[in-house]
Amino acid sequence: MESPVGRQFGGARRRLVEELRGKGITDLAVLKAFENTPRHLFVPTGVAHRAYEDTPLPIGNGQTISQPMVHAYYLQLIKFTGSEKVLEIGTGSGFETVLLAHLAAQVFSVERIAPLLENARTAIAAAGVERVSLLLGDGTHGWKAHAPYDVILVGAASPDIPVPLLEQLADGGRMLIPVGTREEQKLIQVTRVGDAFEKAELGPMRFVPLLGEHGWTS
């Protein structure tokens, strides 16, 4: 049987991996995760022919699948060892969820828009990935039942870091979250050391808003 990734778009996928390498992605596990993830299954069929361009694309409900380079940059910052338990906020298309499944041990992902979550569920299954758990709800509350997490990745921008997410970070755990105004944000890396949280400010970012009780409330 053909692998779930299939031969379809194989050349385009390899070219995207080379493009990411050229733009500074050197983590081989991250590059391999891209090689093994069929991004064309995570975008609407009308734009599938553009799935391997390094660009964000609309996925419906006013949301976008992030630019591959943004995903790759996030994932390279974490330096996965393969043993991590990860919480993703903002499943969106489910594409990053699958990249995470290739890089970490356990993946939990929360999305607030039901039709997007259902599309993501279908695409994740079509990509042949099983070890991910999805939840419909307000991700600014995190997902307490499975906490603490070694890694928390937030794929939408918040005015502040939601306190429940800090509480659900394991000792030594790391979180990446874009923080700022609705128009522009800075990526913040938070590292938990005991009860202290060390924050490092990384580059500028532009994400859709994190809408919820501990994010943007309107």
Quick one: which of 178, 208, 171 has its CA closest to 65? 208
Residue 208 lies near ligand SAH (rule: CB under 6 A):
yes
Residue 51 lies near ligand SAH (rule: CB under 6 A):
no
Binding mask 69-108 for ligand SAH (x = CB under 6 A): --------------------xx-xx-xx------------
Q: How far is the CB of 99 from ligand SAH (least distance, A)?
A: 9
CB 127 within 8 A of CB 51: no
Quick one: which of 150, 134, 49, 147 has its CA closest to 92? 134
Q: How far is the CB of 67 from ligand SAH (least distance, A)?
A: 8
The DSSP code sequence of 57-73 is EEEETTEEEPPHHHHHH
Residue 212 lies near ligand SAH (rule: CB under 6 A):
yes
Residue closer to ligand SAH by CB (options 140, 168) is: 140
The enclosing H or E element of 116 equals: helix 114-126
66 counts as catalytic: yes
Tokens representing residue 49 in the block: 């022919």
Give the number of C-alpha atoms closer than 13 A to the C-alpha of residue 215, restricted to the C-beta side: 24
Catalytic position from the list 3, 66, 93, 218: 66
Residue closer to ligand SAH by CB (options 7, 92) is: 92
Pairing of strands 196-205, 185-193: antiparallel
CB 138 within 8 A of CB 185: no
Q: How far is the CB of 53 from ligand SAH (least distance, A)?
A: 14
State how far the Cα of 75 lies from the Cα of 72, in Å rounded to an integer: 5
Residue 185 lies near ligand SAH (rule: CB under 6 A):
no
Residue closer to ligand SAH by CB (options 155, 173) is: 155
State how far the Cα of 132 lies from the Cα of 130, in Å rounded to an integer: 6
Residue 138 lies near ligand SAH (rule: CB under 6 A):
yes
Q: How far is the CB of 141 from ligand SAH (least distance, A)?
A: 8
Residue closer to ligand SAH by CB (options 55, 191) is: 55
Quick one: which of 103, 106, 107, 109 has its CA closest to 78? 103
**Residues that bind ligand SAH in the complex, under the rule CB under 6 A:** 63-66, 89-90, 92-93, 95-96, 110-113, 116, 138-140, 155-156, 208, 210-212, 215
